[in-house]
Amino acid sequence: MKRAICLFTSVLLAIAAPWAHGQAGNRAELQKTLNSLFKITTTFKVSPLAANFSDVITPGDVVELRKSGLRMSALVNAMPESNIYKNGVIVGGGAKRALSMLGNSITEGSDSNPPRTLTVGDRCWIEAIIVQKEAILFKLFTDPDASGMRYQGDLKFPFPNTHQTPSADEALKLIGEVLTVMTPGQSASAPKPVPAPTAPSASPQRRQEELAPTISNSPTPTIILGQTRAQVIAAFGEPQRKAEAGAKEIFYYSDFKMKVTFINGIVSSID
């Protein structure tokens, strides 16, 4: 009987091992892709007794919210607010939100630094992106407010299928429902950009591509900063692989061992 049980257990482990290895591999690949698409902001944290105890060392990407309801806690509090994006809305997640709703002074912070809730158009820095077993976690923080206080919060994107790591395209589509990467150089507290006037017959980007001169007849294909998507495609053809995250898009040309990054359809970097 014991031998039969051991044999049955061995069979289950043999079946489960490749699946578990594949899941871990998929998560690693997704983590690698997200790391290449989003530039993380590095910070230096000093004394927690200071109102603004986290300074930006290397600025990364600024993301703008497309959904309201992201709850943030003051950095002087030990725990960041926990949020989950589920069924198209941002909701609370974890014990911290539950305790704060009951008015717990430890999680709620002092009266002068209560949690704040961000709305559509508010901006944050990305401090970390972590691909977990069943979700993608973004750790976000704001620029200092009028009193010099920064706010922090976690935003979790559960996998659509809890037993399967999504593809990069599926993950980016989900993230894009909530976060849009802004143009490099913009502050997390900068005023919202004024939308450009749109022609009735075409979007601004499409109109720009239609009017932009192409370089398809050039004997030596070249690419420079400031070119449009249309110019790059005309010179090098469609890329072997693409990745998108809000206003940022990356073309991968394996034949040329080249990666081209666009912001709002314009070449911003070539690697």
Q: Which of 75-79, 194-198, 216-220 has the lowest mean pLDDT?
A: 194-198
Both ends of the chain: CA-CA distance in Å? 62
CB atoms within 10 A of CB 176: 15
Helix (H) or strand (E) holding 96, with range, is helix 95-101
Question: What whole-number distance in Å separates Cα of residue 91 and Cα of residue 103?
Answer: 18
Mean pLDDT for the stretch of residues 13-30: 59
Confidence (pLDDT) at 218: 42
Q: Which of these, 243, 238, 236, 271, lies nearest to 257 by C-alpha position?
A: 271
Mean per-residue pLDDT, 83-103: 71
Beta bridge partners of 254: none
In the block, tokens 């980007």 appear at 205
pLDDT-based confidence at residue 7 (cuts at 50, 70, 90): very low
Most confident of 2-6, 109-113, 178-182, 261-265: 178-182
What is the rounded CA–CA span in Å between residue 66 and residue 236? 34
Structural domains of the chain sorted by starting position, each given as residue range(s) with its CATH number in brackets:
30-181 (no CATH), 204-270 (3.30.1450)
pLDDT digits (tens, 9 = 90+) for 110-145: 456 788 999 999 999 999 999 999 999 999 999 888
| Of 76 and 187, more confident | 76
- The pTM (predicted TM-score) of the whole model is 0.58
Neighbours of 220 (CB within 10 A): 6
36-89 pLDDT, tens digit each: 999 988 876 554 444 445 567 788 889 999 999 999 998 877 688 999 999 999
Structure-token match 């983590």, residue found:
31
Q: What percent of the chain has pLDDT over 90?
A: 30
